[in-house]
Amino acid sequence: MDDLFKSKTSRRAFLQGSAAAVAGSMAGAAAASEPDPLITELQDWASYTGAGVDETPYGMPISFESHVVRRNVEWLTASPISSINFTPIHALEGTITPQGCAFERHHSGAIELRKEDYRLMINGLVETPLVFTYEDLERFPRENHVYFCECAANTGMEWAGAQLNGAQFTHGMIHNMEYTGVPLRTLLAEAGAEVSADRWVYVEGADASSNGRSIPMEKALDDVLVAFKANGEALRMEHGYPVRLVVPGWEGNMWVKWLRRIEVTDMAVESREETSKYTDVYEDGTARKWTWVMDAKSVITSPSPQMPIKHGKGPLVISGLAWSGHGRITRVDVSRDGGITWETARLGKQGDTKALTRFYLDIDWNGAPMLLQSRAIDETGYVQPTKDQLREQRGVNSVYHNNCIQTWYVNAEGVAENVEVS
Amino acid sequence: MSKFPNIFIPAVGGAALVMGVAYGFASRDYGADKIEVLESRVQQAEASVSVASEKAAAEADRAANLEQKISEVRTAASERVASGANLTAPAPVSESGYGLGRPAHPEEIAAWDVDVLPDGRGLPEGSGDVYTGEEVFVEKCASCHGDFAEGVDNWPVLAGGFDTLSDEDPVKTVGSYWPHLSTAWDYIHRSMPFGEAGTLTADETYAIVAYLLYSNDMVDDDFELSHENFTEVEMHNAEGFVVDDRPDLEYSAWRAEPCMENCKQEVEITMRSVFLVETLDEGGTESVMNQASAKGLPSFTADGPAFIPTAEIKPAEEASATPDAQVEEEADHGAQLLAAGEKVFKKCKACHAVGEGAKNKSGPQLNGVMGRQIGAVEDFGYSSVFQTAAEEGRVWDEAAMIEFLAKPKEYMKGTKMGFGGLKKEADIQAVITYLQSFDG
C-alpha cells in the first residue's frame, strides 16, 4: 500500500518537474501546481444525461472534428462539377480512409443512380453480350481486398516546386478502403470473352463524362474488381454508387465509377482520358502514354503544415503513409536533416499489397529545426526517388505521376512548411 | 487444441503429490517397539508407492504422447503458415458459367456502344462542314471554350498551342496534342456540351469537329468532314507518344539499396511553399501567397541545422480579436452575407454571368434577376417550362428563388440547367443577397 502511494506521488512530482522544464517552450502550457478544475469541479457532461440512441441514425463525427473534412482548392479547376478535392490525410491515422472524407474526382459531377436502375453490359469480342442487374452481381462469388486509389495528378502541382502548404493538398488525392466485389475475370468468363494477350477491356461509366478507359486483358484477368461495397457499406454516391471498378495499384482515373459497360476490343480506344489527359509530357515535348502503375511513394502526415508540433521538446511521434502500385511496402526510411542521414521507420503493420502502409518514427525531439523526409521501398526493391531524380528523367512539364520525396521544414516552434531542398 | 495442456497438468500434479506423501512416511524415525507395525506400514506404503509410481509412469506416458501430438499439430500449423496456405481463397470461377445476367438486345448495344476507335470503327454515317460547325460551336460550346476555341477562364483551350509542348506550360489542344481525331469525335458526341451530354446529332458532331480542325489551321474553311474522309485527316501529334518506358529508364536504376549516412554534405532550403492554404470553418480553402523568403533559414549538415532562427511573431497572433472588432463584426453581417454569396455563386459562374456587361453564357445573365419576370432575358433560348412561366407572368421573388435553388429540377420541371441545387439554406440566402446587389 505504501509503495503504491509513493510511486504515485513520485510520478506526479515527475510530471510537474517535466512540465516546468518545458513550460518556457510551450505556448499555453498549464501550470500543474494548481488543481485542474476539469477534475476537481463537477462537469456538465458528468451530471446531465447525454444523447439518446437514435439521435443520429447514421452517425457523423462529433462536431469537434468538423475540420477533418475533404477540401478543394477552387482555382485549380474551372468548375466544382469537373474538379477534385483532397482527403484530410494529415488528420487521419491507421490506414483505412472513412468514405465520408475520401477524396472525390468528378468529370461531370457525381450522379444519383438507384440500384434498381443500374445495368451493366458486357459486349464486344464475347460469345454472348450480357446485361447484369445489381442483384445479378450480388450472386457471383465475391472477394474482399484493401487497396489504395490514388489520382495520377496527386502531387502534380509540385512539379513546379513547393506549391501548396499542407499534406492534404500535396498528397490528399488518395484513399484506401476495403472493397467487396466480383473479380472482373468472373464476369468476362460468364460472357465468354476472348482473353488473349492482344485483347483490351474498355470500361465506361453511366455519368455524362462516361470517363472511358482501356485496360489490357492481362490486368483485367489479374486483380480488377467490380466493386459494390467499400469499408463494409454501400459505396458513396461520390465514389460511384452503386458499382465502381477497382483497378489495384493503377491510376485512379481507371477506377471507373457508376460502371455501366465493359467492352472487349482488339485495340485501346484511346479515349479522351487516355490521350489528352493522363499522359505525361517530357521536356522535349514527346509524351508517355499508358502510364498506369502508381510507383512507390510516401509522405509524413504529422508533423506537417496542418499538423504543427504543439507540445515542445520531448517525445514526438512522426507518422506517415507509404504505398506502391507494384505490391507491398517493405521498408520506409525517414530523414530529419533533408536526406543526409536516414533512419528506418517502424511499420504499423505489415502492409497489404497495393494498399496504404502506416509508418512511425518515435523520437525525442530536441527542439531544433528539422527537414523531414520519408522514402518508401516496395517489394520490387524500388526506392522512391527525389524530386531531382524525377526532374532529371522527365523534366517539369508533366502533371501526373509525381512520386517524389516530400520535404517539410519544421522550425523551432514546431511549425511545418512545404519546402524544396538542394 | 488449447484444452490439452489443461487436462494434462492436473494429472501430473496429482501423481507428484502421491509420491511426496509416500516418501514422508518412509523416512520417519520411530521406537523399536513400533518397528513391526511400522514395517508393515512401510510395506503398505511401499505398495502404494509402487502403485503410485505405476500410475505416475502411465500418466507420464500419456503426457509424453500428448506433448508429441501437440508438437505435431504445431509443426503442421507452422508449416501451413510458412507455405502460405490458409482457408482464404480467391472467388471461384465456374467453367460452365453461373447463368446470371441475360443476353443484351441489339438495340441496347447500339444505344450504349458508341465508342469510336482510332481507325474510325464505330463512326456513324454523317457529315458536317466548317461553316455549320461554327454556328453550332458558338451556340453550344463557346460559353466555356470561347468563340475561337481559345478557352474561357479555366476551361480547356481547344485550338492553337503548336510548338509549345516542350515549354514549361505546354498548351495541349486538339490541334497541338491529341494524337487521334477519333478521340475528339467520340468525346464531343458522348459527353459534350457540358451539362447537356448526349444531345448532339452525328451531323452536328461532324460539323463541330470540322470547325475545330479549322480553328487549328488544319483544314480550309470549305472543308466538310464525314465518316468517309474521317481517317484521312492527319493529326499533328500522332507520333508524339511513347508507351510507358519507366521500367527501362527508371525502375532499372531505382531498385538499388539507398544511401543511409552522409548522403550529402550540406542541404539548403531552395524554395518555400508558394501558397499558404488556409482551411475555412465553412469548408474549402483560401490560398494566400506566401511572402516569406528562404533567406534566413538554416542549412543542414549531418550535425543538424547550422543555427536556430529566433522565433517569428506570427501575423495571426498580432491581429488577435479585440472587443471593438466584435462590434464591427456584427455591423458587418450584411457584408459577410454578400461575401458568402459571392463564394456560393462560384458554383453558378460556369454558366451564368452577373455584373457589369454580363452576357448570356449557357445560362442567362443574372443582372436584376431578383424581382424580374421569369424567363425574361432577351436573346436567351429558354426551355419550355420557363417560356410557360413567362407567359403566366411569374416573377423571381424571394420565395420562388429559394424553392428553385433548393431543387431546380423539381421547381422548374424540364429546365436545361444542369445544376442539382444548393443543399444549405444559408447558401441560398447568401446567393440571393449577392444577386440582389446587381441591378438590371
The mean of the pLDDT values for chain B is: 84
User: Does the beta carbon of B247 lie under 8 angstroms from any beta carbon of chain A?
Assistant: no
**Stretch 19-58 of chain A: residues touching chain B, C-beta under 8 Å:** none
pLDDT of residue B319: 43
B109 and A123 within 8 Å at the Cβ level: the answer is: yes
Task: Please list the ranges in chain B whose pLDDT falls under 50.
Answer: 1-28, 313, 315-323, 326-327
The DSSP line for B62-109 is HHHHHHHHHHHHHHHHHHHHHHT--S--PPP--TT----SEEPPHHHH
Q: Cell 445573365 sits at which residue?
A: B365
According to the 3-state scheme, what is the secondary structure of B111-150? Answer: HHCCCCCCCCCCCCCCEEEHHHHHHHHHHHCHHHHCCCCC
Q: Quote ipTM for the complex.
A: 0.89
pLDDT of residue A285: 93
How many CA atoms lie within 13 Å of B272's alpha carbon, on the beta-carbon side? 17
- Total count of residues recorded for chain A: 422
Distance CA A375, CA B117 (A): 41
Q: State the pLDDT confidence band at A10, using cuts at 50, 70 and 90.
A: very low
- What is the pLDDT averaged over residues A114-135? 98
pLDDT of residue B379: 81
Q: Are A332 and A349 in contact (CB under 8 A)?
A: no
Higher-confidence residue: B76 or A387?
A: A387
Q: Are B404 and B412 in contact (CB under 8 A)?
A: yes
pLDDT of residue B46: 81
Cβ-based neighbour number of residue B313 at 10 Å: 7
B191 and A108 within 8 Å at the Cβ level: the answer is: yes
Nine cell digits for residue A217: 486483358
**Per-residue pLDDT for A376 more than 90?**
yes
Quote the Cα angle for B226-B229-B230, to 5°.
70
| pLDDT tens figures, B71-126 | 888 887 777 666 666 788 899 988 899 999 999 999 999 999 999 999 999 999 99
Nine cell digits for residue B335: 457584408
In order of A142, A244, A246, A292, B165, the CA distances from A227 in angstroms are 9, 5, 6, 19, 38
Phi, psi of A363 (to 5 degrees): -125, 165
Q: State the pLDDT confidence band at A8, using cuts at 50, 70 and 90.
A: very low
User: Does the beta carbon of B270 lie under 8 angstroms from any beta carbon of chain A?
Assistant: yes
How many CA atoms lie within 13 Å of B420's alpha carbon, on the beta-carbon side? 9
Minimum-distance CB partner of B273 among A123, A164, A290: A164
| pLDDT tens figures, A148-191 | 999 999 999 999 899 999 999 999 999 999 999 999 999 999 99
| pLDDT tens figures, A274-285 | 999 999 999 999
- What is the pLDDT averaged over residues A2-16? 39
- What is the pLDDT averaged over residues A103-132? 97
Minimum-distance CB partner of B191 among A128, A208, A285: A208
DSSP 8-class letter at B34: G
Distance CA B148, CA B157 (A): 9
Handedness of CA B376, B381, B386, B389 (dihedral sign): positive
In order of A412, B173, B181, B210, the CA distances from B177 in angstroms are 48, 5, 11, 17
A283 and B166 within 8 Å at the Cβ level: the answer is: yes
pLDDT of residue A1: 37
pLDDT of residue B8: 42
pLDDT of residue B93: 84
Phi, psi of A332 (to 5 degrees): -130, 130
Q: State the pLDDT confidence band at A79, using cuts at 50, 70 and 90.
A: confident
The mean of the pLDDT values for chain A is: 92
User: Does the beta carbon of A99 lie under 8 angstroms from any beta carbon of chain B?
Assistant: no
Task: Please give the residue of chain B at the shortest CA–CA distance from A87.
Answer: B284
Distance CA A318, CA A90 (A): 12
Q: What amino acid is encoded at B28 in this protein?
A: R
Nearest CA-CA partner of B340 in B397, B281, B288: B281
**Stretch 288-307 of chain B: residues touching chain A, C-beta under 8 Å:** 290, 294, 297-298, 300-302, 304-305
Phi, psi of A201 (to 5 degrees): -120, 120
User: Does the beta carbon of A363 lie under 8 angstroms from any beta carbon of chain B?
Assistant: no
The shortest C-alpha distance from A361 to chain B (Å) reads 15
**Stretch 237-276 of chain A: residues touching chain B, C-beta under 8 Å:** 260-261, 263, 265, 267, 269-272, 275-276
In order of A370, A411, B305, B306, the CA distances from B309 in angstroms are 12, 8, 10, 10
User: Does the beta carbon of B91 lie under 8 angstroms from any beta carbon of chain A?
Assistant: yes
Nearest CA-CA partner of A403 in A289, A297, A279: A297
The DSSP line for B192-220 is -STTSTT---HHHHHHHHHHHHHHTTSS-
Q: What amino acid is encoded at A379 in this protein?
A: E
The shortest C-alpha distance from B235 to chain A (Å) reads 13
The shortest C-alpha distance from A280 to chain B (Å) reads 9
Q: Are B138 and B193 in contact (CB under 8 A)?
A: no
Distance CA A334, CA B360 (A): 55
Cα-to-chain-centroid distance, residue A238: 15
pLDDT of residue A185: 97
pLDDT of residue A307: 98
**Stretch 123-142 of chain A: residues touching chain B, C-beta under 8 Å:** 123-124, 128-133, 136, 139-142
Q: Are A71 and A84 in contact (CB under 8 A)?
A: no
Distance CA A399, CA A291 (A): 12
